[in-house]
C-alpha cells in the first residue's frame, strides 16, 4: 500500500472535518493514510480512517495565519523526513496548506498534490474595506500561487481550471475532481410529508431552504427580495434559513416577512432532515469556488436546487438565475417537487469519484 500524508484540520470547522472524513472513507481500503494535524482539537471520527501524526506539540487553535503557516511547514517537514511517504496531499485550507504542501514536496522531493478549493483568486472583490481588499489581493495573487508548484493540482471544475491557468498554473498539472458527495449521510426521504412533520412544518407548506453564512456576498439582498415577493404571492411558502448570523441579518430577514423561519447553525449530522423536508433549495451567493456543498447535498437528498449562474453551478443545478427578477420568476412560477431518488449526475456519484481519486494517488493522473 502506498503511504499518503494528508495535511488537514479535522477539528474546529465542521465543514473541514466533514470533507476529511469523506476522503478517509473513500481511500482507506486502498492506501495507508496519515493525517498530519497541528492542533490538539481532533475530530474523533478522523481516527477511524487516519493515523494521526503531530510533531509540533503546542496548541495553536487561536493563532494568526503566519503562525499556522509556520506550524504546518515544520510539522509536514518533520513528517516527510521521518515517514518517507509516497505522496503528500493538501485537502483543506488551500490558502495556508496548499503552499505548505507544494514547498515541502519540492524541498523533500516528495510527490505532492494540492487542491484548489474554497478560496478563489477573485475573493478580494467581496471585501468592503480598502485595507482588506489590498491584503486579500496580495495574499491570493502572490502567496496562493505557491500551491501551483506542486506536481499535480486538483480543481473542482472547468471554471476553476481556467482561473488556475490564468494565475500561472500549467494546464498539464491540473486534474478536475469535484467534491465527493457524502451519499451515506445525505439521501432522499421516503415521505416528504413525514420529513416536514419531523421539523414541525405543516405539510401544505412549500418549503424553500437557504443554507449558508448570512453575509452580504452570499446574496442576502436577493434572498430578501425573493422572500418579500413570495409573501405577496399569497402561496403557502415557508423559508427555512440555516446558517451562522452576521450583522443581525437573521433579524432583518425575520422582519421582512412572517413566512421566514430562522434555524441558526445546525450540526451537519442533522442537516439531512432539512434537505429532506425542503421542496426546493436556493443558493444565492455571488462567489463560489465551483458547485457548493449545499447544492450537492440537496441533490443527493432528491431535492431540486437552483443557484446563481456562476462557476459550474449550471452543470448540475435544476435551474440558474442571473438577476433577482429571474430568481423570483423561477421560484414562483413553477411547482417544485423533490424526488425519491438522488438527483446527483452519475459522473459525480461516489464510486466514480472514488475510482478517480485512487487513480490520482496511484499514478498521479486520471
- Cell 418549503: give the residue: 207
* CA–CA distance, 54 with 75 (Å, rounded to integer): 7
Q: Would you state the pLDDT for residue 41?
A: 63
Nearest Cα residue to 281 out of 233, 336, 243, 325: 336
Domain membership of residue 242 (yes or no) is yes
| Same domain flag for 332 and 354 | no
Rounded to 5 degrees, φ, ψ at 222 are -65, -40
By residue count, the chain amounts to 366
pLDDT per residue as tens digits for the range 293-326: 899 999 999 999 999 999 899 999 999 999 999 9
Q: What is the pLDDT of residue 10?
A: 64
- Shared-domain flag, residues 254 and 282: yes
Shared-domain flag, residues 241 and 113: no
169 in a domain, yes or no? yes
Q: Is residue 216 part of a domain?
A: yes
- The whole-number pLDDT of residue 268 equals 85
My answer on whether 318 and 358 are in the same domain is: no
Structural domain that includes position 56: 3-180+349-363
- With respect to residue 186, please indicate whether it lies within any of the assigned structural domains: no
DSSP conformation letters of 80-140: HHHH--SEEEE-S-HHHHHHHHHHHHHHHT-EEEEEE-SS-TTGGGG--SHHHHHHHHHII
Confidence of residue 122 (pLDDT cuts 50, 70, 90): confident
Same domain, 83 and 204: no
Domain-embedded: residue 305: yes
Range of weakest confidence among 8-17, 50-59, 81-90, 263-272: 8-17
Q: Are residues 49 and 173 in the same domain?
A: yes
Q: In this structure, what C-alpha cell is assigned to residue 295?
A: 447544492
Q: What is the mean pLDDT of residues 328-332?
A: 96
CATH number, position 29: 3.40.50.2000
CA distance 180 to 25: 11
- Of 209, 184, 180, the C-alpha closest to 338 is 209
Q: Are 22 and 164 in the same domain?
A: yes
- Mean pLDDT estimate for the chain: 89
Stronger pLDDT, 169 or 132, i.e. the higher one:
169
Within-domain flag for 248: yes
Q: 340 with 357, same domain?
A: no
The model's pLDDT over 159-218, given as tens digits with 9 standing for 90+, comes to: 899 989 988 999 999 999 988 888 888 999 999 999 999 999 999 999 999 999 999 989
The verdict on residue 22 lying in a domain is: yes
CA diameter of the chain:
66
Same domain (yes/no): 173, 204: no
Does the pLDDT at position 128 exceed 90? no
Kindly state whether residues 125 and 49 are assigned to the same domain. yes
Q: Looking at per-residue confidence, does 284 or 58 come out higher?
A: 284
Residue 185 lies in a domain: no
DSSP element (H, E) containing 5: strand 3-7
pTM of the model: 0.86
Claim to verify: residue 205 and residue 121 sit in the same structural domain? no
Q: Clarify whether residues 120 and 139 are in a common domain.
A: yes
- Domain count of the fold of the chain: 2
Summarize the confidence of residues 14-20 as an average pLDDT: 72
Placement of cell 433549495 in the chain = 281
d(CA 265, CA 241): 9
Amino acid at each position: 500500500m502506498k503511504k499518503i500524508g494528508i495535511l488537514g484540520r479535522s477539528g474546529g470547522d465542521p465543514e473541514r472535518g466533514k470533507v476529511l472524513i469523506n476522503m478517509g472513507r473513500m481511500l482507506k481500503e486502498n492506501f495507508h493514510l496519515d493525517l498530519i494535524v497541528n492542533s490538539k482539537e481532533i475530530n474523533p471520527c478522523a481516527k477511524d480512517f487516519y493515523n494521526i501524526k503531530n510533531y509540533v506539540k503546542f496548541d495553536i487553535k487561536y493563532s494568526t495565519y503566519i503562525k499556522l503557516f509556520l506550524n504546518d511547514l515544520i510539522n509536514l517537514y518533520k513528517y516527510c523526513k521521518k515517514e518517507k511517504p509516497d505522496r503528500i496531499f493538501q485537502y483543506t485550507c488551500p490558502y495556508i496548506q496548499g503552499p505548505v504542501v507544494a514547498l515541502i514536496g519540492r524541498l523533500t522531493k516528495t510527490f505532492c498534490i494540492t487542491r484548489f478549493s474554497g478560496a478563489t483568486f477573485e475573493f478580494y472583490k467581496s471585501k468592503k474595506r480598502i485595507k482588506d481588499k489590498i491584503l486579500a489581493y496580495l495574499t491570493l495573487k502572490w502567496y496562493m500561487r505557491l500551491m501551483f508548484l506542486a506536481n499535480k493540482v486538483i480543481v473542482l471544475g472547468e471554471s476553476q481550471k481556467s482561473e488556475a491557468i490564468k494565475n500561472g498554473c500549467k494546464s498539464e498539472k491540473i486534474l478536475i475532481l469535484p467534491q465527493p458527495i457524502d451519499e451515506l449521510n445525505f439521501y432522499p426521504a421516503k415521505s416528504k410529508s413525514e420529513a416536514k412533520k419531523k421539523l414541525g412544518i405543516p405539510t401544505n407548506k412549500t418549503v424553500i431552504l437557504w443554507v449558508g453564512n448570512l453575509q452580504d456576498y452570499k446574496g442576502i439582498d436577493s434572498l430578501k427580495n425573493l422572500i418579500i415577493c413570495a409573501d405577496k404571492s399569497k402561496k403557502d411558502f415557508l423559508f427555512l434559513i440555516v446558517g451562522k448570523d452576521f450583522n443581525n441579518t437573521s433579524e432583518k430577514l425575520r422582519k421582512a416577512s412572517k413566512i421566514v423561519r430562522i434555524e441558526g447553525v445546525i450540526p451537519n449530522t442533522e442537516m439531512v432532515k432539512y434537505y429532506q423536508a425542503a421542496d426546493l433549495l436556493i443558493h444565492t451567493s455571488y462567489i463560489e469556488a465551483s458547485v457548493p456543498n449545499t447544492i450537492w447535498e440537496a441533490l443527493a437528498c432528491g431535492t431540486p436546487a437552483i443557484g446563481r449562474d456562476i462557476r459550474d453551478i449550471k452543470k448540475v443545478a435544476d435551474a440558474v438565475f442571473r438577476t433577482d427578477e429571474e430568481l423570483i420568476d423561477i421560484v414562483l412560477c413553477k411547482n417544485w417537487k423533490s424526488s425519491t431518488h438522488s438527483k446527483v449526475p452519475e459522473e459525480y456519484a461516489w464510486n466514480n469519484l472514488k475510482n478517480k481519486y485512487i487513480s490520482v494517488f496511484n499514478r498521479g493522473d486520471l
